[in-house]
């Protein structure tokens, strides 16, 4: 009796999750699969699941005249630097915001996250004008600043939430043990913040890595990122589907793996055992 | 070894005073317990001593040196937190040795000191474990060990036993008392549990709403409470209170009217006159069942604890708790008569202040050292 009661909703849950997974995964799986297909099969009228895989699209991406390497390096450098800055500043600001007792703290915190609420489209033109005056167009620094403007408030907000979860007893215990505020932060707080730092870093990196609008507007020939390279394959003379799918795979796969890592960290309760 | 003085210290949190001018003198090697109901400010007071909270006004001095401006790291204290606050990413050994690592003590010496503390607390087999692999009692011990390794001038304990189950709490209480003997250090202990306060303290500080109600030895607080709050807070079950009318009063005693006749309580009756209303306080353990007693009551509830029995009595609109021996044969709804020795009774004015007893209880001024001598 009880078994069938549990069994029914369970099958329902599984069915729902399967549907959701198919909905999410089929386009990605199809993209990854197709990136290994020869061009003739990609554009065939009937979809083909079985084929002899080829690396030709990947090889031509990195060997042809317009190699993907500079784009990849730009993406890694810009996303990496903006993430690093966002995490370092976000960590310190978040700690302050979580611990300091000041009036109207919630308002301050809300104001910081509210700057992230504006849609990219609303800030892109003003930023373009600003960047032109500051000679930041077609520079790595320009894109790093643009991504920071969105990632920093987000990082501060996220890190504040992580610090709020960490009982202040631990830092206080460290200070009574003879630590300065900074030593308490360095030896006790920071090691316990790894899940928070990794989560924040990956989410910030994904934002910068996936961005197309900022990169399209602010970058020039020497600073273009991977999404721009992908867009360049959509030309008036035709679309190079094979290369496009290969780029898509290169963009998506590292982030998908990173996303799974975030999940692991998010769930982990590292503070278990610190406080009853 | 260290002394501590608090001089009219005040803590103000954005307009609300939580500590309203506390004076206290802690002697070297004394075990002082702050006790009071939740929200009375006892933890805040301890955090101010530790340096975790700033002091709005007044002076805190350790060994005669003002420390108001000294940070928690440099006050030379150790604190055991209610939550234990063990560093979850460090092993037991690293937790205990953290203060030494910060002080740049060489590894070998550090290990030696940690081992010495671990030996006292029987923690040696656990040194390589992380806190999450320990039971509540073990975590508690590690937290105490960490304090011992620090070799502080004063130990601070913030409700250290409140997360333990009852049996473990009793065991740790005894262990802490023994530890105090062994380390012979100045200790300050915060609790809301008056049994912990009574059993461990040399000196109890009773706090309510940020004000010190009374400071004294456990026996002094028990036998000579300064006011009605202390009388009700110390002792379990709670003291019985009854409004009574004064028949007559002089320096030798006060005559009050009780339901079963008048009674003379031997307290200083200066300033009290016939017709005044006072509150009579009498502890449940000082009420005695007596067939010829002047007081009566109907039993509402009987709690048999084996050794003693608590009777909850009702008479008219007054309620009494009476603690009798374990062999009382009465049943619920029985009508019983009882009496008390007026020398054990207390009288409180309308403002709640106690009228002073004419004779001091012989144990009221006993201190821990004398307690210990009696065992030798």
In a domain, A229, yes or no: yes
What Cα–Cα distance (Å) separates residue B235 from each residue in B32, B43, B194, B219, B363? Answer: 18, 22, 7, 10, 16
A104, A166, A175, A177: best to mutate for the B interface, most B CBs within 10 A:
A177
What Cα–Cα distance (Å) separates residue B333 from each residue in B162, B290, B304, B321, B337? Answer: 37, 17, 15, 14, 13
A21 and A73 co-located in one domain:
no
Q: Does the pLDDT at position A274 exceed 60?
A: no
Chain A contact set for B87 (CB, 8 A): 170, 173-174, 188, 274
A50 and A85 co-located in one domain:
no
How many angstroms separate the CA of residue A21 from the nearest CA in chain B?
36
Determine the pLDDT at residue A4.
55
The answer to whether the CB atoms of A275 and B52 lie below 8 A apart is no
A19 and A85 co-located in one domain:
no
Residue with tokens 């202390």: B230
A11 and A131 co-located in one domain:
no
- From B248, B214, B241, B207, select the one nearest B350 (Cα to Cα): B241
Strand order across the beta sheet in which B287-289 lies:
B287-289, B335-340, B295-304, B308-315, B318-325
A85 and A134 co-located in one domain:
yes
A159 and A196 co-located in one domain:
yes
- Bridge partners (DSSP) of residue B312 are B301, B321
Its sign, for the CA torsion B281, B286, B287, B293, is negative
Size of interface A-B (CB pairs under 8 A): 87
* Closest Cα in chain A to B53: A172
The answer to whether the CB atoms of B89 and A178 lie below 8 A apart is no
From B85, B102, B139, residue closest to A179, measured CB to CB: B102
Q: Does the pLDDT at position A74 exceed 90?
A: yes
How many angstroms separate the CA of residue B183 from the nearest CA in chain A?
19
Chain B contact set for A178 (CB, 8 A): 73-74, 99, 102-103, 150
Determine the pLDDT at residue B143.
95
Interchain CB contact of A121 with B (< 8 Å):
no
CATH number at residue A263: 1.10.3720.10
In a domain, A178, yes or no: yes
Interchain CB contact of A275 with B (< 8 Å):
yes
A81 and A51 co-located in one domain:
no
* Closest Cα in chain A to B151: A177
Domain final residue, candidates A18, A40, A58: A58
Interchain CB contact of A115 with B (< 8 Å):
no
Q: How far apart are CA B152 and CA A151, in angstroms?
A: 45
* Closest Cα in chain A to B147: A177
The answer to whether the CB atoms of A169 and B50 lie below 8 A apart is no
What Cα–Cα distance (Å) separates residue A131 from each residue in A134, A137, A144, A217? Answer: 5, 6, 12, 11
For chain B, domain boundaries: 4-231, 238-348
* Closest Cα in chain B to A272: B132
The answer to whether the CB atoms of A167 and B83 lie below 8 A apart is yes
Determine the pLDDT at residue B103.
94
pLDDT tens string A190-207: 998 888 898 889 889 989
ipTM of predicted assembly, 2 dp? 0.85
What Cα–Cα distance (Å) separates residue A208 from each residue in A75, A83, A213, A227? Answer: 8, 8, 10, 11
A52 and A85 co-located in one domain:
no
How many angstroms separate the CA of residue B52 from the nearest CA in chain A?
7
Q: How far apart are CA B43 and CA B158, in angstroms?
A: 7
The answer to whether the CB atoms of B72 and A170 lie below 8 A apart is no
Determine the pLDDT at residue A105.
85
Determine the pLDDT at residue B375.
43
Task: Give chain A's radius of gyration (CA, Å).
Answer: 23
- From B236, B155, B162, B254, select the one nearest B194 (Cα to Cα): B236
From B50, B136, B163, residue closest to A176, measured CB to CB: B50
Q: How far apart are CA B167 and CA B173, in angstroms?
A: 10
Which residues numbered 16-75 in B keep a CB inside 8 Å of some CB on A? 50-52, 71-74
A178, A182, A271, A272: best to mutate for the B interface, most B CBs within 10 A:
A178
A78 and A214 co-located in one domain:
yes
Provide the 10 A C-beta neighbour count for residue B2.
18
Interchain CB contact of B134 with A (< 8 Å):
yes
- Higher model confidence: residue A273 or residue A138? A138
Flag residues of chain B having pLDDT under 50: 373-376
Contact at 8 Å (CB) between A230 and A221?
no
Determine the pLDDT at residue B369.
63
- Higher model confidence: residue A144 or residue A52? A144
The stretch A117-128 carries a mean pLDDT of 89
Determine the pLDDT at residue B64.
93
The answer to whether the CB atoms of A177 and B139 lie below 8 A apart is no
In a domain, A72, yes or no: yes
Could you report how far apart the first and last alpha carbons of chain A are, in Å? 39
Domain range spanning residue A169?
A: 65-267
In a domain, A272, yes or no: no
Interchain CB contact of A103 with B (< 8 Å):
yes
Could you report how far apart the first and last alpha carbons of chain B are, in Å? 24
Determine the pLDDT at residue A198.
86
How many angstroms separate the CA of residue B96 from the nearest CA in chain A?
10
Residue-wise DSSP of chain A: -HHHHHHHHHHHHHHHHHHHHHHHHHHHHHHHHHTTS-HHHHT-SS--S------HHHHHHHHSSS-SHHHHHHHHHHHHHHHHHHHHHHHHHHHHHHH---TTHHHHHHHHHHTTTS-HHHHHHHHHHHHHHTT-TTSHHHHHHHHHHHHHHHHHHHHHHHHHHS-THHHHHHHHTT--HHHHIIIIIHHHTHHHHHHHHHHHHHHHHH--HHHHHH--TTT--HHHHHHHTEETTEE-HHHHHHHHHHHHHHHHHHHHHHHHHHH--TTBTTB-
A193 and A230 co-located in one domain:
yes
* Interior/surface letters B114-123, b for 16+ CB within 10 angstroms, e for the rest: bbebbebbeb
The answer to whether the CB atoms of B73 and A180 lie below 8 A apart is yes
Q: How far apart are CA B252 and CA A201, in angstroms?
A: 79
A14 and A93 co-located in one domain:
no
* Closest Cα in chain A to B99: A177
Structural domains of chain A, count: 2
Chain A contact set for B71 (CB, 8 A): 175, 180
Contact at 8 Å (CB) between A78 and A86?
no
∠B157-B10-B210 over CA atoms, to 5°? 65
User: Does B4-231 carry CATH code 3.40.605.10?
Assistant: no
Interchain CB contact of A190 with B (< 8 Å):
no
From A170, A177, A187, residue closest to B150, measured CB to CB: A177
A166 and A54 co-located in one domain:
no
The answer to whether the CB atoms of B139 and A273 lie below 8 A apart is yes
Q: How far apart are CA A200 and CA A194, in angstroms?
A: 10
The answer to whether the CB atoms of B98 and A275 lie below 8 A apart is no
> What's the CATH code, domain B238-348?
2.40.50.140
Look at A41-50, A172-181, B68-77 and tell me which has the smallest mean pLDDT: A41-50
* Closest Cα in chain A to B83: A275
């Amino acid at each position: 009796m009880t078994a069938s009661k549990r069994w029914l909703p369970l099958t329902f849950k599984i069915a729902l999750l399967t549907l959701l997974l198919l909905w999410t995964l089929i386009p990605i799986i199809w993209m990854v699969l197709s990136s290994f297909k020869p061009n003739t099969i990609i554009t065939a009228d009937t979809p083909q699941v079985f084929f002899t895989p080829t690396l030709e699209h990947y090889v031509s991406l990195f060997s042809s005249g317009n190699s993907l390497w500079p784009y990849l390096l730009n993406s890694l450098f810009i996303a990496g630097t903006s993430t690093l800055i966002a995490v370092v500043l976000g960590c310190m600001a978040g700690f302050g915001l979580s611990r300091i007792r000041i009036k109207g703290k919630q308002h301050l915190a809300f104001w910081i996250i509210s700057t992230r609420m504006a849609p990219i489209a609303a800030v892109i033109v003003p930023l373009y004008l600003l960047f032109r005056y500051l000679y930041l167009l077609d520079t790595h620094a320009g894109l790093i600043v643009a991504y920071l403007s969105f990632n920093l408030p987000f990082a501060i907000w996220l890190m504040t939430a992580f610090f709020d979860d960490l009982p202040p007893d631990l830092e206080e215990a460290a200070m009574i043990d003879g630590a300065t505020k900074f030593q308490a932060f360095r030896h006790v707080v920071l090691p316990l913040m790894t899940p928070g730092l990794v989560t924040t870093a990956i989410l910030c990196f994904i934002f910068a890595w996936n961005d197309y609008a900022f990169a399209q507007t602010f970058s020039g020939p020497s600073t273009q990122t991977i999404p721009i390279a992908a867009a360049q394959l959509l030309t008036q003379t035709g679309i190079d589907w094979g290369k496009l799918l290969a780029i898509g795979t290169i963009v998506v796969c590292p982030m998908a793996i990173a996303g799974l890592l975030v999940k692991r960290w998010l769930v982990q309760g590292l503070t278990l055992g610190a406080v009853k | 070894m260290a002394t501590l003085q608090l001089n009219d210290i005040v803590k103000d949190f954005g307009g609300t005073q939580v500590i309203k001018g506390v004076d206290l003198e802690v002697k070297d090697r004394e075990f002082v317990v702050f006790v009071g109901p939740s929200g009375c400010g006892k933890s805040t007071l301890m955090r101010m001593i530790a340096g975790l909270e700033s002091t709005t006004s007044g002076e805190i001095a350790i060994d005669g040196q003002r420390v108001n401006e000294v940070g928690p790291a440099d006050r030379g204290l150790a604190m055991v937190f209610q939550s234990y606050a063990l560093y979850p990413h460090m092993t037991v050994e690293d937790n205990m040795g953290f203060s030494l690592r910060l002080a740049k003590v060489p590894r070998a010496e550090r290990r030696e000191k940690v081992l010495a503390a671990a030996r006292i607390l029987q923690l040696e087999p656990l040194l390589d474990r992380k806190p999450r692999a320990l039971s509540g009692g073990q975590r508690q011990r590690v937290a105490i060990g960490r304090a011992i390794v620090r070799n502080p001038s004063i130990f601070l304990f913030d409700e250290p036993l409140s997360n333990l189950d009852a049996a473990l709490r009793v065991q740790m209480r005894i262990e802490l008392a023994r530890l105090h003997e062994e380390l012979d250090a100045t200790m300050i202990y915060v609790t809301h549990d008056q049994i912990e306060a009574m059993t461990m303290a040399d000196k109890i500080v009773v706090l309510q709403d940020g004000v010190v109600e009374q400071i004294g030895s456990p026996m002094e607080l028990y036998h000579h409470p300064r006011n009605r709050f202390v009388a009700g807070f110390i002792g379990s079950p709670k003291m019985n209170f009854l409004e009574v009318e004064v028949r007559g009063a002089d320096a030798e005693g006060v005559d009050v009217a009780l339901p079963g006749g008048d009674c003379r309580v031997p307290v200083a009756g200066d300033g009290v006159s016939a017709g005044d209303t006072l509150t009579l306080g009498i502890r449940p353990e000082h009420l005695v069942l007596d067939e010829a007693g002047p007081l009566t009551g109907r039993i509402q509830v009987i709690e048999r604890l084996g050794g003693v029995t608590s009777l909850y009595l009702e008479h008219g609109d007054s309620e009494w708790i009476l603690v009798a021996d374990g062999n009382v044969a009465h049943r619920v709804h029985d009508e019983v008569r009882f009496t008390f020795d007026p020398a054990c009774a207390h009288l409180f004015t309308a403002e709640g202040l106690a009228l002073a007893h004419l004779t001091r209880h012989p144990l009221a001024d006993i201190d821990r050292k004398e307690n210990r001598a009696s065992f030798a």
